Structure 1
Amino acid sequence: MTDPRDSLSLAEQGSGPTDLPPPAPLRIAPQTALFLDFDGTLVEIADHPDDVIVPDTLPEVIASLAHALKGRLALVSGRSIAALENLLGPLEVAIAGSHGGEFRPAGADTVAPLADPLPGRVVEELDSFSKANGDMLVEPKPYSVAVHYRRHPHALESLLTRAEALAREEGLKLKHGKQVVELVMPGSDKGSALTAFMARPEFAGTHPLFLGDDVTDEDAFRVLEGLGGHGVLVGPMRPTAAHRRLPDVAAVHDWLAAALRTHDQSEGI
């Protein structure tokens, strides 16, 4: 049975360095593959998932990077693919949603699951718990369910106790991120998603970079070394398996924009 505390505590990963250097400028090159988290990496985190502010230019930046990299770009998010497209519009780039439970290569019309669907009982139990503890936001997804406690910090201890029990009973993984506790199906993690993408022909032989901010991104950071790549932590320094760091979402946008400018200049655009 899966350990329900998998990825729960960064303290379990060791203290790590006091800080990390920034990544080198992004090069649009045949050896480059780029994987991007969404919340906390491309957009600022909001109190409610529907309240995030998506810059008007972001969909075009994503599409331009994917085109420049000849398809070697993927979004890897805890949100479902449908939720991402509600915010960004239709996307032709590769996407892994629900922490990797949903897997869709670029240009594909269908989503391939990397995990079994979440038992309906889990959502029902957490929904009942939420209503009895201040009506916390419960966000069901195809392969996971998240409970956002940002507005109800007093409920965290009891929420963790209930979530841990459900994880043990159903063989789920428990992830404790930024003001959110999430139960996910085995196989629905960002490390599995990166491994699946890197097995595809368009990513073969590349050096992957993954940018992410939260505990749920550590699964991806940990597999990168074996894939010949590097993780880039976004946000304040904390214990992490990443090798580089950018301080905030604005720095990510600057880093990506600089790569596109350099590419356009080299192409004479």
Structure 2
Amino acid sequence: MLLEPPPTHLLEGASLFLDFDGTLVAIADRPDAILVDAGLPALLRQLVERLEGRVVLVSGRAASDVRAWLGPLDITVAGSHGLERPGAPAPTATATQAFQPLRDLTQRVAGLLLEEKPLGAALHYRQAPEAEELCRAAVTAVAAASGLAVQPGKMVFELKPAGGDKGSAVTAIMAEPPFRGTRPFFIGDDLTDEHGFAAAAALGGAGILVGEPRTTAATFALADVPAVHTWLAQAAEALA
């Protein structure tokens, strides 16, 4: 079933949760090669003001990484799939030796990229799609040895602490002011965002899927990153 774009008045009295890669910025071959639109920080600043602070960036990246890309911006960031967020206990960093088998794999297979994070790692195979099953097996083995959980994504397998997902982050944040009592809307593109869509719907809001149609917990859809920017600008104007 094809989903319709969300109405621009949707955010009135609501809370807004935004994925980063694939939603606010286009996915690049490497995580450090993304391009941030020059107008994005100002657009986010406007949304934060008009929603009275009820805007959260929920990313698989470390929170510090997201902030580095956006510059000085007073906005809530929930990094590492929501495990890094204000008010949450500081998670224990994963021992870096756990990822040595994945480092070794990237040395043997051209095109693979290991992105190491404070609380996990991501093995990207965008430039070596034929290595998908090899990557899946390697990450599954590391997960079994380390106690981490595997999260598939777009041309990537991530390792992260068990029990941490974007839906749990939405639920926890929505229990606190100024979010409590509002309807949450979650915009995202990847499989990791499905938890966020489901949590938003359970709390009276909805998910907004970015990109190609698929089976999803989202209620609405936007075609791509430029469509997200356009809709956010229109929604901000409707809040004025």
TM-score normalised according to structure 1 size:
0.84
Paired residue for 1:62?
44
Report if aligned partners of 1:115, 1:187 keep a CA contact under 8 Å in 2.
no
Report the count of equivalent residues: 240
1:91 alignment partner, one of 73, 78, 84: 73
Aligned-partner SS, 2:21:
coil
33-42 or 112-121: which moved more? Answer: 112-121
2:147 aligned residue: 171
The correspondence for 2:2, drawn from 12, 15, 19, is 19
Query: Structure 2: where are the runs of 5+ without partners?
Result: none
CA–CA separation in structure 2 for the residues paired with 1:122 and 1:191:
26
Take 1:258 and 1:178, find their aligned partners in 2: how far apart are those partners? 28
Matched, 1:221 2:203: no
Equivalent AA in structure 2 for residue 45 of structure 1: I
Cα pair 2:210 2:225 within 8 Å, conserved:
yes
1:207 pairs with 2:189: no
Q: Is the 8 A contact 2:211 2:222 kept in 1?
A: yes
CA contact (8 A) 2:9 2:239 kept: no
Q: Distance in 2 between matches of 1:157 and 1:212?
A: 25
Q: Spell out the pairing of 1:72-87 with structure 2 (5 A cutoff).
A: 72-87=54-69
2:9–2:238 contact (8 Å) kept in structure 1? no
Tell me the secondary structure at the aligned position of residue 85 of structure 2.
Answer: strand
**What secondary structure does 1:125 align onto?**
helix
Q: Is the 8 A contact 1:26 1:255 kept in 2?
A: no
State the distance in 2 between where 1:74 and 1:122 align. Answer: 31
Counterpart residue number, 2:34: 52
Structure 1: which 5+ runs fail to align? 1-17, 106-111, 265-269
Cα separation, partners in 2 of 1:26 and 1:51, compared to 1, 3 Å: farther
Change (3 A) 1:175 1:192: same
What residue number does 2:230 align with?
254
1:187 counterpart SS class = coil
- CA contact under 8 A between 2:80 and 2:119: conserved in structure 1? yes
Tell me the equivalent position of 1:5.
Answer: none
CA distance in 2: counterparts of 1:115 and 1:240, whole angstroms: 29
Preserved CA contact (<8 Å) 1:114 1:188: no
Question: Which residue identity does 2:45 align to in structure 1?
Answer: A
Q: In 2, Cα distance between the equivalents of 1:232 and 1:135?
A: 32
Q: Which amino acid aligns with 2:40?
A: L
Indicate conservation of the 8 Å contact 2:113/2:124, yes or no: yes
The two structures have a TM-score, normalised by structure 2, of 0.94
- The reply on whether 1:117 has 2:99 as its aligned counterpart is no
% identical equivalent positions: 45
Deviations for 1:184-226, whole angstroms, at most 9, x for unmatched residues? 1123311111111101111010000000000111111122222
